[in-house]
Amino acid sequence: MDELWVNVRLATMVPGPEPYGRIDDGALAVSDGRIAWVGKAGDLPSGLRNGAGRVHDGEGRWVTPGLVDCHTHLVYAGSRAAEFEQRLQGVSYEEIARQGGGILSTVRATRAADLKTLVAQSLPRLRSLMAEGVTTVEIKSGYGLEPSAEFRQLAAAAELSRRLPVTVVPTFLGAHAQPPEYDDADDYIDAVCGKMLPEVARRHLAAAVDAFCERIAFTPAQTARVFEAARGLGLSVKLHADQLSDGGGAALAARYGALSADHLEYTNAGGIAAMAAAGTVAVLLPGAFYFLRETRVPPVDGFRRAGVPMAVASDSNPGSCPAGSLLLMLNMACTLFGLTPEEALAGATRYAARALGKEMRIGTLSAGKDADFVLWDIAHPAELSYGLGVNPCHTVVRRGRISEPSPR
């Protein structure tokens, strides 16, 4: 049965002459979980108006596409608050990692957790994002670093999508750190490529493969091996690139046709040009920049000039950004990185969808796409980037159905 939403102001996020793809006095028709029609209420075909099974009055609220968080590590066990205290005393993130803390401390906790515990600890993190209108979330593995624990993280991500009204896009990040039982990183990369990736592909455990290319993680050559294997199995790739140093990660990602390259604080001009040519999305993670008290900002102007689309994501993870809010990231993208509020919102809708290879299904209010949208108590869409710790979310609709608010 078709449903109709009327008396709404639409920020469709479809590019065009109107900022935010704005349509005042809009209407939106939903059929079978998809957007059947969207536009000015006055243009609504009479068949849709008269045939609607139910009409919802938006009471003048703004409606945006459901938010898309295209980069998270939210399935893990434990906390790194003690490490945060250490960092505040002056010990760097890299030093902590080299001492066997950092990612490896979360690996120890995650390996020790069973599926039930992992799901229970991850649920509130996901609920917190969803309470602000997130309807699609990417979740990476990477805290197992051995087949059973990596696959358990991906199983937990799948279980979250069964428990909550949210679309989960799983990513395999086996090449996140060198596990303690390996002396040689290349031997571990052998295991990732030879054992884990084929199973990920065969069991459809993840849609894409990510890696951490950095001084404290894997070299460009090791990353390239992971990408070769992934592409050979028909899996998409993406990369944690140039976060703490310029390792040529952006260009490497582009060379393999990556969906996205993420972080990018140290990306150079060659990397920007390569991303533009390859159509690779730049995923900006201002929360990690903030939480690690970094000083080098990503080359946002360069991305703009080259026409590289920019997404904004939470990076929700225990070490560099224990975030439960994507709206806060929109604010930080503006205040710390210089995005406009419109760019920030496009970064959490349209371009985040593209970073997940899902731009045909989600990311804008367009006929034919999934009916994932949010009604907001705001006077202007810039307010979504303006507030700090403010949640103006009124109603979330996913695949045409109103999501019941769930406790955080």
Residues that bind ligand DI6 (CB under 6 A): 73, 102-103, 106, 176, 212, 240, 243, 288, 315, 317-320
Residue 230 one-letter amino acid: A
Nearer to ligand DI6, 58 or 271 (CB): 271
With a CB cutoff of 8 Å and minimum separation 6, the contacts of 202 are: none
User: Comparing C-alpha atoms, which of 401, 318, 386, 273 is closest to residue 93?
Assistant: 318
Q: How far is CA 371 from CA 29, 36, 64, 66, in A?
A: 9, 9, 11, 9
Q: Which does 358 bind (CB under 5 to 8 A by kind): Fe ion, ligand DI6, none?
A: none
Nearest-CB residue for ligand DI6: 319
Nearer to ligand DI6, 27 or 97 (CB): 97
Q: Which does 31 bind (CB under 5 to 8 A by kind): Fe ion, ligand DI6, none?
A: none
Nearer to ligand DI6, 320 or 403 (CB): 320
Compute the least distance from the CB of residue 253 to ligand DI6, in Å.
Answer: 13
Compute the least distance from the CB of residue 262 to ligand DI6, in Å.
Answer: 8
Nearer to Fe ion, 44 or 156 (CB): 156
User: Comparing C-alpha atoms, which of 266, 47, 76 is closest to residue 154?
Assistant: 76
Nearest-CB residue for Fe ion: 315
Q: Which does 341 bind (CB under 5 to 8 A by kind): Fe ion, ligand DI6, none?
A: none
Compute the least distance from the CB of residue 288 to Fe ion, in Å.
Answer: 7
Length of the chain: 408
Q: Which does 102 bind (CB under 5 to 8 A by kind): ligand DI6, Fe ion, none?
A: ligand DI6
Q: Choose the binding region for Fe ion from 146-154, 309-317, 368-376, 383-391 (rule: CB under 5 A).
A: 309-317
Q: Is 265 in the site for Fe ion (CB under 5 A)?
A: no
With a CB cutoff of 8 Å and minimum separation 6, the contacts of 352 are: 67, 68, 69, 70, 136, 283, 311, 312, 313, 363
CB 375 within 8 A of CB 58: yes
* Strand ranges inside 141-258, DSSP E: 167-175, 208-213, 236-241
Give buried/exposed letters for 305-316 (b at 16+ CB in 10 A, else e).
ebebbbbbbbbb
Q: Choose the binding region for Fe ion from 33-41, 218-226, 250-258, 308-316 (rule: CB under 5 A).
A: 308-316
Residues in contact with Fe ion, counted by CB under 5 A, come to a total of 1
Compute the least distance from the CB of residue 321 to Fe ion, in Å.
Answer: 8
Q: Is 138 in the site for Fe ion (CB under 5 A)?
A: no
Q: Which does 243 bind (CB under 5 to 8 A by kind): ligand DI6, Fe ion, none?
A: ligand DI6
Nearer to ligand DI6, 102 or 392 (CB): 102
Compute the least distance from the CB of residue 291 to Fe ion, in Å.
Answer: 12
Compute the least distance from the CB of residue 111 to ligand DI6, in Å.
Answer: 14
d(C-alpha 349, C-alpha 351), whole Å? 6
Compute the least distance from the CB of residue 313 to ligand DI6, in Å.
Answer: 11
Compute the least distance from the CB of residue 211 to ligand DI6, in Å.
Answer: 9
Q: What is the largest CA-CA distance in the chain?
A: 69
Q: In the chain, helix, strand, coil percent, each to 5?
A: 40, 25, 40
Let me know if 94 is exposed, middle or buried by CB neighbors in 10 A (0-12, 13-18, 19+).
middle
Nearer to ligand DI6, 4 or 74 (CB): 74
d(C-alpha 303, C-alpha 264), whole Å? 10
d(C-alpha 312, C-alpha 307), whole Å? 16
Q: Is 315 in the site for Fe ion (CB under 5 A)?
A: yes
Alpha-carbon torsion 103, 107, 108, 114, what sign?
Answer: positive
> Strand 3-11 to strand 62-65: parallel, antiparallel, or no bridges (unpaired)?
parallel
Compute the least distance from the CB of residue 232 to ligand DI6, in Å.
Answer: 23
Contacting positions for Fe ion (CB under 5 A): 315
